[in-house]
Amino acid sequence: MAVLKCDATIPERDKHILIKGEGQDGKCSIACNSATTPGDMTERGCTYAGCRGVVGGPVQDAIQLTHGPIGCAFFSWGYRPHIADSDFHMKYTFVSDMDESNVVFGGEKKLLQSIIEANEAFPEAKGVFIYNTCTTALIGDDGKDVAKIATEKIGKPVVFFPCEGFRGVSQSAGHHVGNETIFKNLVGTAEPEEDSAYSINILGDYNIKGDLRTFEPLFEAIGLNIVARFTGNVKVDELKVMHRAKLNVIHCARSATYVADMMETKYGTPSINVTLWGIENMSKALRDTAAFFGLEHEAEKVIKREVAKVMPKIEYYRKRLAGKKVFIYQGGPRAWHWPELLAELGMETIGAATTFGHADDYQKIYEKVNDGAFIIDNPNVPELEEILLTLKPDLFISGNKEKYVAYKLGVPFVNGHTYETGPYAGFSGMVNFARDMDKALSAPVWKLVKDMAQPVPGGLEEEVA
Amino acid sequence: MSTVVKQERAVSINPLRACAPIGAMLATFGIHGALTINHGSQGCATYPRHQMARHFREPVEVATSSLTESTTIYGGRENLLAAIKNVYERFNPTMITVCSTCLSETIGDDIPAFIDEFKGLNPEIDIPILAVKSPSYVGTHITGFDNFLKELALALPRKTRPNKRVNIIPGWVNPGDIREIKEILSEMQIDGLVLTDYSDTLDGGLYSPRPHFPKGGISLDEIKDSANALGTIALQKHVGGEAARVYKRRYGVPAHVLPMPIGMANTDRFIKTLSEITGKPVSAELQSARARMLDAIVDTHMITTGAKVAIYGDPDLVEGLVRLVVEMGMEPKYVATATDSKTWPTDLMALSEEFNLDMEIMPKTDLYAIHKKMKAHPVDLLIGHSKGKYIADEEKVPLIRAGFPVEDRYGYHRRSVVGYKGGVYLVDKITNALLAKKGALVSNTLLEFK
């Protein structure tokens, strides 16, 4: 018997669904990080999406050049709000624009020509990132070799990401490729003018709607220098010197642990995992980071000051939000980062799902939710719909595509993926997050929907079923 | 005197086009209860879904055959067979469209053969399964739509008895445009078959309970009946023109391939054609709408005349918009499309000769090329989809959003740019944008003088 009715015809989906309960010995034995069932209405993206969209794309002064046909470049252009001091990377996308004859005769020449022309058009760019696609991988273009030749020709780093879409089972593989490629090609290729004993890298933050501005000043206020952000609001030159930081502070453990591990092996840089969402988590992140440098006293001062600023607002929202039940569906870590900050506001996570979570992600979710909570891997649209209708969460937190499914079902929704309004990280971001949830929950429209939504006229249902 | 300007760059910077599968997906939404399977990597389904959700603000569901490394090596046959079966069993659709992608085309998957095999293995599954060629490296997003319409016209219609209906192929338009076209048909008391009609499926209301499939879309029976129509009118040459010719060749239905009905003359032509095909007179309501549009152009001509404009987007949309802005006395300077069409530059040159225009006609181009032109010789106004916002911001030129996608504003999918009402909307929108930008003395009222 399938847990979800809609899975009656795809029984293997059952292995990807788990309800936390007795007899599980605290272990989350859920099938994950495996290929999507064909015919599934999955929400997953591809390896290219993970590499270009998440990891490489935010680098603000690199030419973002897709080696392939037009679609991959067009669709990955500008939809993820990883904003930066310079908006070059958001404003421009570049593509070698393969047509049928290029596919037949090979695209290496066109790629080289594209790099040269792009660099001529934007000489201020500090490097060129080339992303491979299904097509150019299949025809066997040697992008790595072209990158090498191009580097010599233009005198700037040209970095090739082997991130063709069919690699791996989800966009998660693209994060791995992104980390590895940046590490091998850029990290350690320059030395900073000055060295600081109090320097860190922030890893796995992509500055969605300006997240960095909520917590960067706090790290600086306790006396730390940020060498590089990986990769929100980062410059190519900062990536080159990031090996000189004394500590790696990892925010998104799913997408950026790879680079921290490689830095530990090669440079001996230690790292700590933090969560930069929520009052408690943010405070702990500052404490843990400061402790590494012996700056505990400074950290406490900053935490005290900042928490005092936001607490009245948090209290206000806590009263309004307490007791609400939430279903979270995010890419990876937010599904295990956020149950804690929801709990801070008195809310309960009754269901959590991720697009591309691995076993360790699900274990973390498992440990943070109550018995009876619903955990689901790589859910598809009918499953999401059934969950919303049967679990009846007060609020659904997910991304843009799922937003309209929720709306059609009359379920309040917050876009946790690219955010509704402005940053959600840090102390002040927590206020934004609470405000958005309150807006979603208390909007009068839901009463209108409840009282006034009409059945479909004309009985089209019977015609189909 | 206008000139045709070819782009010589290898690299495309800020492309103004997407790729083919999204077109076949969009067209499929116009058939009630139909679903799409994208045969390729997961991103090839998710990216277009995300793009459509941003434009239409609606749930957009598409299945994928989820090809990964091993299936890429051994072929996607098994994945596709499983995908069709799963989609059928789970959703009970009326029809399935299978789009090819770069990946499945490059590895040489024979989708029609796989579909035949599937039908042989599952004789009890008796729904149309349509294969559409849509690799990204051939054509643009409109190619997938156009190929879909051709395949549909070849596969489904059945010649039986004449039905006194008119087939209308709107092409790649917004739900608002389809609604406007249907209103014109209804005002003339013409029974139309809109191929395909996503006016409700992608601009639907909120119903409780949520229907299994969104309300709306043309039914399969209606598509079958389209072989018996009085005539076919394709309202875009590049999206549906070929399908109209298929109807003529296969089923003897006369084909009328018209320019997109944007502006006075093009709308007149559409309505005249409708009247000729059916023998129905132009309704009094349509004549009033026409008079109102003329009135709107008269009211605003002192502001619009002489204003320079750059227009980009899909070829038929751009051609229609050029005629409208010329009717308004404006001067189109740069007209651009990403499509590599043989006929488009010729058609634009003909327009240029008709009105003695001085345009740079830019086929197969990108937004960067337009931006460079505008930097050298500025224009007063930009018309096109929302990817041009970066140019508009940088050059401080107003952008009138039209076409697909409009992702940074709400509601454009609900608006119509076709017909007389669409014309009035554009005239007002364009005029007000010029007023807001320049500041001007209008009817003795001082507006933000610069």
| A-contacting residues in B 127-146 (Cβ below 8 Å) | 135-138, 140
Distance CA A423, CA A429 (A): 5
pLDDT at residue B292 greater than cutoff 50: yes
Note the residue count of chain B: 450
Contact state of B15 with A401 under an 8 Å Cβ cutoff? no
Q: Which two tokens stand for residue B6?
A: 């070819």
The parts of chain A modelled with pLDDT lower than 50 are 462-465
Which are the contacts of B282, defined by CB distance < 8 A and separation ≥ 6?
B188, B271, B272, B275
Ordered DSSP codes for B240-294: THHHHHHHHHHH---EEE-----SHHHHHHHHHHHHHHH-PPPPHHHHHHHHHHH
Contact in structure between A164 and B69 (CB atoms under 8 Å): no
Contact state of B32 with A76 under an 8 Å Cβ cutoff? no
Q: Which two tokens stand for residue A309?
A: 């600023």
Contact state of A381 with B59 under an 8 Å Cβ cutoff? yes
pLDDT class for B450, splitting at 50, 70, 90? very low
Does residue B58 sit at the A interface (CB-CB below 8 Å)? yes
Distance CA A252, CA A265 (A): 20
Model confidence pLDDT, tens digit, residues B101-111: 999 999 999 99
Distance CA A189, CA A173 (A): 25
B219 interaction partners in chain A (CB closer than 8 Å): 463
Neighbours of B299 (CB within 10 A): 12
Does residue B406 sit at the A interface (CB-CB below 8 Å)? no
Please report the pLDDT score of residue A1 as a whole number. 62
Closest alpha carbon within chain A to B50: A401
Q: Which among A69, A134, A408 has the least Cβ separation from residue B206?
A: A408
Contact state of A118 with B13 under an 8 Å Cβ cutoff? yes
Interface mutation vs chain A, best among B7, B9, B60, B66, most A CBs within 10 Å: B66
Residue A6 is given by DSSP the state G
Does residue B273 sit at the A interface (CB-CB below 8 Å)? no
Contact state of B215 with A456 under an 8 Å Cβ cutoff? yes
* H-helix or E-strand spanning residue B60: none
Contact state of A42 with B89 under an 8 Å Cβ cutoff? no
Residue whose token pair is 């364009």: B430
Contact state of B53 with A43 under an 8 Å Cβ cutoff? no
Does residue B46 sit at the A interface (CB-CB below 8 Å)? yes
User: Could you give the residue numbers annotated as active site of A?
Assistant: 46, 49, 80, 175
CA distance A129 to chain B (A): 14
Section B434-444 average pLDDT: 66
Contact in structure between B38 and B101 (CB atoms under 8 Å): yes
B137 interaction partners in chain A (CB closer than 8 Å): 69-70, 98-100, 102-103, 135
How would you classify residue B411: left for phi > 0, otherwise alpha for psi between -120 and 50, otherwise beta?
Answer: left
Interface mutation vs chain B, best among A66, A76, A456, A461, most B CBs within 10 Å: A456
Q: How many Cβ pairs within 8 Å bridge chains A and B?
A: 262
Please report the pLDDT score of residue A205 as a whole number. 96
CA distance B93 to chain A (A): 8
Closest alpha carbon within chain A to B45: A45
Contact in structure between B50 and A49 (CB atoms under 8 Å): no
Nearest to A441 by CA among A389, A394, A407: A394
Amino acid identity at A30: I
Query: Reduced to 3 states, what is the DSSP secondary structure of residue B64?
Result: strand
Closest alpha carbon within chain B to A383: B90
Distance CA B113, CA B98 (A): 12
CA distance B201 to chain A (A): 12
A48 interaction partners in chain B (CB closer than 8 Å): 41, 43
Contact state of B210 with A385 under an 8 Å Cβ cutoff? yes
Interface mutation vs chain B, best among A5, A10, A16, A46, most B CBs within 10 Å: A46
CA distance B206 to chain A (A): 6
Q: What are phi and psi of A122, to 5 degrees?
A: -130, 70
Model confidence pLDDT, tens digit, residues B174-211: 999 999 999 999 999 999 999 999 999 999 899 988 99
CA A210 to chain centre: 14
Does residue B113 sit at the A interface (CB-CB below 8 Å)? no
Helices A426-442 & A279-293, crossing angle to 10 degrees?
170
Which are the contacts of B239, defined by CB distance < 8 A and separation ≥ 6?
B23, B142, B145, B146, B149, B169, B171, B172, B314, B316
Interface mutation vs chain B, best among A5, A10, A33, A40, most B CBs within 10 Å: A40
Contact in structure between A216 and A64 (CB atoms under 8 Å): no
Neighbours of B249 (CB within 10 A): 11
Please report the pLDDT score of residue B441 as a whole number. 53
Query: Reduced to 3 states, what is the DSSP secondary structure of residue A243?
Result: helix
Q: What are phi and psi of A331, to 5 degrees?
A: -55, -70
Does residue B15 sit at the A interface (CB-CB below 8 Å)? yes
Contact state of A36 with B66 under an 8 Å Cβ cutoff? yes
Q: What is chain B's mean pLDDT, rounded? A: 95
pLDDT at residue B428 greater than cutoff 50: yes
B43 interaction partners in chain A (CB closer than 8 Å): 45-49, 72, 75, 165, 171
Model confidence pLDDT, tens digit, residues B248-265: 999 999 999 999 999 999
Contact in structure between B369 and B338 (CB atoms under 8 Å): no
Note whether ipTM > 0.90 here.
yes
Contact in structure between B423 and B264 (CB atoms under 8 Å): yes
Q: How far is CA A421 from CA A222, A298, A314, A433, in A?
A: 28, 31, 17, 8
State how beta strands B445-446 and B441-442 pair: antiparallel
Q: Which among B14, B64, B215 has the least Cβ separation from residue A460?
A: B215
Contact in structure between A250 and A204 (CB atoms under 8 Å): yes
B217 interaction partners in chain A (CB closer than 8 Å): none
Distance CA B9, CA B308 (A): 26
Does residue B25 sit at the A interface (CB-CB below 8 Å)? no
Q: Is the dihedral of CA A363, A369, A375, A378 positive or negative?
A: negative
Q: Which two tokens stand for residue B26?
A: 């969009």
Contact state of B59 with A405 under an 8 Å Cβ cutoff? yes
Distance CA A243, CA A163 (A): 24
pLDDT at residue B449 greater than cutoff 60: no
Residue whose token pair is 């699900």: A362
B92 interaction partners in chain A (CB closer than 8 Å): 464-465
CA distance B118 to chain A (A): 14
Please report the pLDDT score of residue A459 as a whole number. 58
Please report the pLDDT score of residue A464 as a whole number. 43
Please report the pLDDT score of residue B70 as a whole number. 87
Does residue B219 sit at the A interface (CB-CB below 8 Å)? yes
Does residue B230 sit at the A interface (CB-CB below 8 Å)? no
Which are the contacts of B403, defined by CB distance < 8 A and separation ≥ 6?
B313, B314, B317, B384, B385
Closest alpha carbon within chain B to A101: B137
Closest alpha carbon within chain A to B216: A460
Please report the pLDDT score of residue B378 as a whole number. 95
Nearest to B60 by CA among A170, A385, A404, A417: A404
Edge-to-edge strand list for the sheet holding A271-273: A225-231, A199-205, A247-250, A271-273
Contact state of A166 with B407 under an 8 Å Cβ cutoff? no
Contact state of A38 with B64 under an 8 Å Cβ cutoff? yes
Which are the contacts of A155, defined by CB distance < 8 A and separation ≥ 6?
none
Please report the pLDDT score of residue B225 as a whole number. 98
For chain B, percent of residues with pLDDT exceeding 90: 94
Contact state of A71 with B72 under an 8 Å Cβ cutoff? no
The partner residues of A414 in beta bridges, in order of sequence, read: A397
- A253 or B172, greater pLDDT: B172
pLDDT at residue B411 greater than cutoff 80: yes
Model confidence pLDDT, tens digit, residues B374-403: 999 999 999 999 999 999 999 999 999 999
Contact state of B68 with A168 under an 8 Å Cβ cutoff? yes
Contact state of A69 with B140 under an 8 Å Cβ cutoff? no
Q: Which among A97, A118, A453 has the least Cβ separation from residue B206?
A: A453
Distance CA A463, CA A460 (A): 5
State how beta strands B34-39 and B95-100 pair: parallel
The partner residues of A426 in beta bridges, in order of sequence, read: A277
Query: Reduced to 3 states, what is the DSSP secondary structure of residue B398?
Result: coil
Distance CA A143, CA A165 (A): 15
Q: Report whether the peptide linkage leading into residue B315 is cis, meaning its omega lies within 30 degrees of zero.
A: no
Q: How far is CA A112 from CA A65, A147, A149, A162, B6, in A?
A: 11, 8, 8, 16, 21
